Structure 1
Amino acid sequence: MRYQVTVQPSGRQFEAESDESLLDAALRQGLTMPYGCKDGACGACKGKVLDGSVEHRHAAALSEDEKAAGLALYCCAHASSDLVIECKQLRSAHDIPVKTLPARIEKMEKLAPDVIDMHLRLPAAEHLQFLAGQYIDILLKDGRKRSFSLANAPYEDNLLQLHIRHVPGGFFTEQVFTTMKVRDILRFDGPHGSFSLQNDAGKPIVLLAGGTGFAPIKSIVEQAIADRYPHPLYIYWGAKARVDLYQNALPEMWAANHANIHYVPVLSEPAADDAWTGRTGFVHHAVLADFPDLSGHQVYACGSPVMIDIARKDFISQCGLPEEEFFSDAFTFSTT
C-alpha cells in the first residue's frame, strides 16, 4: 500500500510505501529530516503524528507514554494510513552535526586518466546526514586533512562518493593513484560547508563547474531530481579536453529526462582527435554569452579559485547578478 504524508509546518508532501519507514521514504524523495542511527536507538528523528496512524516495527527510544501522546520515531514508523506529521526540516548546514567516522574503500574507478571515483562504505550502523553540495575532510595519520566534496545525493547516506583528481606531488592523491586499494580504511569528519541550494524564491539557477567541481554539482542536481525541484537548472561544465568531461553522459541524461534541466559542456583546449563541435573557451564566458542579464538568477560555482573569482566579478559587474546570489566552493590543492 502507498500512503500520502504531509509534513507540518512546511506543508511538504511525500508518498510512503507500507513496507518502508517514513524516514526512508522522505529521504528517497528529497526531504531533509533530522535523524541519527536509523535504528530507533538515538531518538533524533522523533516527531508527532498529527493525523492518521503508524505502526512501529521497533522503537527502543520511544516510551509508551510518548506513543500515547502521538509521538513516533520516523526511522521505525511505517504508515498504515495517509498521515499528517510534525517535523522540523533541515534548512542549513548548522542544523546537521559533524561526525568523525571510519569508512572502508568499496570501489575505486578511474573516470579519466587523472580522476578517480572513490566510494566509501560507512559502518553498518552509521549514516552521514548532509546537504547536497557539502564536503568531508579525510583525516591523515599525521594530523593533516584533505577536503573533498560529496558527489552523491544525501539520500545515499551510507555509501559516499568522492571525485579525486591526481595532484602531482600531492601527499594524499599520490597514495590514491599508486598504493591505495579497495578495502583500505580511511577516517573522515563532516559534513562541512554551506554550498547548498538556498532558493526559496524559486529563481532560475546557473550551476557552474570546473573540472572535478562537477562533484558537488552532481550531488545538488541528483537531490533536486529526487526532490522534484520544478525551477530551471542550467548546468555549465568546463574542462580542458573531452576526456576531462569524465561523466558527460550523466548531465546529458538529466537534460534529456527533465524539461527544467539544461546542460552546456565547454572545452577550453579540445584535443585534435576530440572532434569537438560544442562550445569552446572559458566556461564562465559561455554563461556570459547566454545570460547577459542575471539579475533574476542565482549562481552556484565550484572549481578553481581563479575561475570562481573571475566568474563572480564578471557576473556581478557585467550581468547584474546580485552579489548575495553568488554561491561558491573553491577547490584548492596542496602538495605538502
Structure 2
Amino acid sequence: MTFNVTVQPSGRAFTANPDEALLAAAIRQGIGLPYGCKDGACGTCKSKKLEGTVSHGPHQAKALSPEEEASGFILTCCAVPHTDVVIESRQVTDESAYPIKKMPSRVSTLTRASHDVMVVRLQLPASDVFKYHAGQYVEFLLRDGDRRAYSMANAPHTQADNPGVELHIRLMPGGKFTEHVFGPMKEKEILRIEGPYGSFFLREDSDKPMVLLASGTGFAPIKALIEHMQFKNITRPTVLYWGGRRPADLYMNDWVQARVAEMPNLRYVPVISNALPEDNWQGRTGFVHKSVLEDFADLSGHQVYACGAPIVVDSARAEYSALAGLPAEEFYADAFTTEADKHKASA
C-alpha cells in the first residue's frame, strides 16, 4: 500500500510508503522539494499541509513549533503519511534532482587550512560521472551506519579534468568523524559517500543582486557558488560577508581576495566577532549577519544565500525579512547542523 502525495501549486505528485517520510519519498522519485539537514533540526523543509494526515518523528521546536504544527505546517523530512496528502511547497523542480549515488572515494589530499579546519580532497571513480549543483552536499556512510554531511567546496565544472570533491571539515572536539579526520586519517584511505543532497544552489533564472553570507566553514558551499559564477560568467552584483571569531577562522581569505580581483561584480566584507589585540584586526567587527543590515537597509530586491551555524542562519532569515523587507522565498540557506544539534531533537 502506498499513499499519493500532491504538491501545490505545481501539481507534481509522487507516492510514499506508509513508513516513509515524505521527503525521502520525494528524493527517491526525483522530486525537488526544499530541504537541508533531513533530521528535523533546520526547518528548511517546512511546508503547509492542505489535506491528509501525517505523524511527525522527533524534531526540534525551532524547526517546527507546536503552534506551527497546530496551524497545519509539517516538516517533510520527518512527516510520515497515514492517508493521501496534499502539501504546499514553494519549490518543486527537477532542476535540483540529480540522481543520488553511493560510491567509493579515496582521500587524495589532507591540508590544514587553520588550527581546526581540514581541507579534504576526495578522488571519485573516473568511470562514473558525479553530477551535482554548486552548494549541494554529500554524506559519508560510516561503518556503524551513522552518516556525516559536508558541503562540496568545488564547483561541478572542476570534475571535468579531475573527478573529485573538496570538503572543509571543522574539528568538533569529541566528534566521532572529525576526530578521525584530524587524527588517524591518511591519504589513500577509502570512504563511502552518497549524494548529492540539498536544495541550496544558485537560482540562475534570476538577475537580482546577491548577498552571500557565511560563518566559519559555511564558506565551503559559498566557495563552490563563487567558482560556478566565475565559470559561467554570471555578473550579477554580489557581496560576500564571511564571519569568524578570529581572523584565522577566515581560512581562505587570500583565495577570496584573488577572486575579487578577477570578478569586478564581487565584493568581500570579512567580519570578526572576537578579535584580540594581538590580531591587529582593522576590519569590520561584530555579528556577521548584522553587518549585512548595517549596509543594506532594503533587501527587498535581493537574493540571500546563507550558510553556517544555525544561529547565524536563523537570525539572518528572521531579521532580513522583518527589518529589511527580504522576501521569504528569496532566502536560501544551508544551516550546518552538528550531531549534537540533531540529538537535541530527540531529547
User: Counterpart of 2:178 in 1: which secondary structure?
Assistant: helix
1:110-129 equivalences in 2 (<5 Å): 110-129=112-131
2:184 alignment partner in structure 1:
179
Q: CA–CA distance in 2 between the matches of 1:165 and 1:118?
A: 11
Contact residue 134 and residue 149 of structure 1 kept, 8 A: yes
**Of 83, 106, 111, which aligns to 2:108?**
106
The Cα offsets for residues 163-183 of structure 1, whole Å up to 9 and x where unpaired, read as 000001101001001111101
2:209 alignment partner in structure 1:
204
Q: CA–CA distance in 2 between the matches of 1:224 and 1:91?
A: 21
Q: Is 1:166 equivalent to 2:174 in the alignment?
A: no
User: Counterpart of 2:268 in 1: which secondary structure?
Assistant: strand
The AA in structure 2 aligned to 1:211 is G
1:48 alignment partner in structure 2:
none
TM-score by length of 1: 0.72
User: Counterpart of 1:284 in 2: which secondary structure?
Assistant: helix
Q: Is 1:302 equivalent to 2:307 in the alignment?
A: yes
Contact residue 208 and residue 237 of structure 1 kept, 8 A: yes
Structure 2 residues not aligned, in runs of 5+: 1-92
Name the stretch that deviates more: 217-226 or 194-203.
194-203
User: Counterpart of 1:187 in 2: which secondary structure?
Assistant: strand
2:95 alignment partner in structure 1:
92
Q: CA–CA distance in 1 between the matches of 2:178 and 2:262?
A: 35
User: Counterpart of 2:326 in 1: which secondary structure?
Assistant: coil
Q: Percent identity?
A: 47
**Of 141, 144, 147, which aligns to 1:142?**
144
Structure 1 residues not aligned, in runs of 5+: 1-89
The AA in structure 2 aligned to 1:115 is V
Q: Is 1:240 equivalent to 2:242 in the alignment?
A: no
**Of 212, 215, 219, which aligns to 2:220?**
215
Contact residue 136 and residue 149 of structure 1 kept, 8 A: yes
Q: CA–CA distance in 2 between the matches of 1:193 and 1:332?
A: 13
How many Å apart are 1:332 and its aligned residue? Answer: 1.2
Q: CA–CA distance in 1 between the matches of 2:199 and 2:115?
A: 30
The Cα offsets for residues 258-305 of structure 1, whole Å up to 9 and x where unpaired, read as 110010000001132211100000001110011010000000000111
The AA in structure 2 aligned to 1:194 is S
- Say what the alpha-carbon RMSD is for the aligned residues: 1.3
2:134 alignment partner in structure 1:
132
The AA in structure 1 aligned to 2:279 is D
Q: CA–CA distance in 2 between the matches of 1:138 and 1:91?
A: 24
How many Å apart are 1:199 and its aligned residue? Answer: 4.1
TM-score by length of 2: 0.69
1:325 alignment partner in structure 2:
330
Q: CA–CA distance in 2 between the matches of 1:140 and 1:156?
A: 26
How many Å apart are 1:91 and its aligned residue? Answer: 6.8
Q: CA–CA distance in 1 between the matches of 2:338 and 2:325?
A: 31
Runs of 4+ displaced beyond 2 Å: none
1:16-27 equivalences in 2 (<5 Å): none
Contact residue 242 and residue 271 of structure 1 kept, 8 A: no
The AA in structure 1 aligned to 2:96 is A
Number of residues of Structure 1 aligned to a counterpart in Structure 2: 246
Larger Rg: 1
Q: CA–CA distance in 2 between the matches of 1:97 and 1:198?
A: 19
How many Å apart are 1:212 and its aligned residue? Answer: 0.1
The Cα offsets for residues 226-266 of structure 1, whole Å up to 9 and x where unpaired, read as 00001111100000001110000111111122110010000
1:154 alignment partner in structure 2:
156
